[in-house]
Amino acid sequence: MRYPKFRRHVVWPAGLIFFFCLVWPFAQAKEIPLVYSSITASQSVAWVAQETGIYRKYGLEAQLVYISAGSRAMSALIAGETPLLFSAGSPAVSAALGGARVKIIMGLLNVFPYYLVAAKGIQQVEQLKGKKIGISRFGSSGHAAAIFALRRFNLEPGRDVALIQIGGGAERVAAMQANAVQGTLLTSPQELLAKKLGFNVLADLAELGIPFLHSSVITREEVLKEQPDLLFNFGRAVVEGIHFLKTRPKETIKIFQKYFRTDDREALQDAYDEYVRQIGRLPYADPKAAQTVLQTLGESQPAALKAKPEQFFDHSILQKIERSGFMEKLYGGKG
């Protein structure tokens, strides 16, 4: 049975793709829904591999499905509505601590890429005391980033600053414009767009030097066991997508333009430049980045404080790709 044909870039609530779990086990073709949870450069390889035909090159007919916020996207993965998820690492670690049989198979970004942005009248982080900060969802990477950033400036979330769930970056900027919140965490290019609206960028979290599993690829253990060929082909597509991203800037920025829905060349270039520096050729998840996730989750999930980062990873697909000589072929013997 083949999946129904949808537009390649669609936005579906998790509940509306439930039927994928019914047809997935019986699918003979490699038609797969691929869920991504954020319209940011850190998950852009999902779009690049789609728009350039790289998925199809490796026998995959991918259907990109956007589900805003990692926690909701994780629910779709656990329910079997997709075999693979592009998301922050926090929802995966949190779900695994709760008993879900999921594994992180790639670490696409192992640092915080956020900027702390505040309302027009706020010039310093300390002025956020008593104010409201918008985040996407509790348990998200943005939530963790807010906690670490505020504590670096001696502000305690929940006591000195209220954290409010808003949604995606566009929704958070809109909430700031309405003064529903007075600050938020944004990635590039949203922080430049916010700056052009008159908001103030107070801090670049990447400069704080905190490792964090901001963007990853997650699957279920049953997929690892039962469909290794699918994952191997998917893994090669992602790694080649990273190669395209790193070596074809003009074409990649054009793809960014489509998904970010902006013609602001400065913002698009900024997003590209930032991400291309941060993503590795072979995207292993960094244990130190996962340790920061565990530290964050430990406040609400005590089991996190006793867990080891490695128990949440399965790098077998990347290791197989590395052993195969695939990287040398891509990068001309410089893999």
**Span 104-143, pLDDT tens digits:** 999 999 988 889 999 998 999 999 999 999 998 887 778 8
What pLDDT, on the 0 to 100 scale, is given for residue 170?
85
Number of residues in the chain:
335
Residue 180: C-alpha distances to residues 12, 53, 96, 106, 176 (Å): 27, 42, 34, 36, 6
Q: Are 119 and 230 in contact (CB under 8 A)?
A: no
Q: What is the pLDDT of residues 164-219, one digit of tens each?
A: 999 888 899 999 999 999 999 998 778 888 888 999 999 988 888 788 998 999 99
Phi, psi of 297 (to 5 degrees): -70, -20
Q: What is the pLDDT of residues 41-84, one digit of tens each?
A: 889 999 999 999 999 999 999 999 998 877 888 999 999 999 99
Instruction: Specify the higher pLDDT residue, 27 or 202.
Output: 202
Among residues 175, 170, 199, 174, the alpha carbon closest in space to that of 187 is found at: 170
Which residues, listed in sequence order, are joined to residue 196 by a DSSP beta bridge? none
* Alpha-carbon span 225 to 202, nearest angstrom: 46
Q: Are 73 and 95 in contact (CB under 8 A)?
A: no
* Alpha-carbon span 294 to 252, nearest angstrom: 33
Instruction: Specify the higher pLDDT residue, 332 or 7.
Output: 332
Among residues 221, 242, 244, the alpha carbon closest in space to that of 316 is found at: 221
Q: What is the pLDDT of residues 269-298, one digit of tens each?
A: 988 998 898 889 999 999 999 999 998 888
Residue 302 is given by DSSP the state G
Domains of the chain, each with CATH number or no CATH: 9-110+213-330 (3.40.190.10), 115-208 (3.40.190.10)
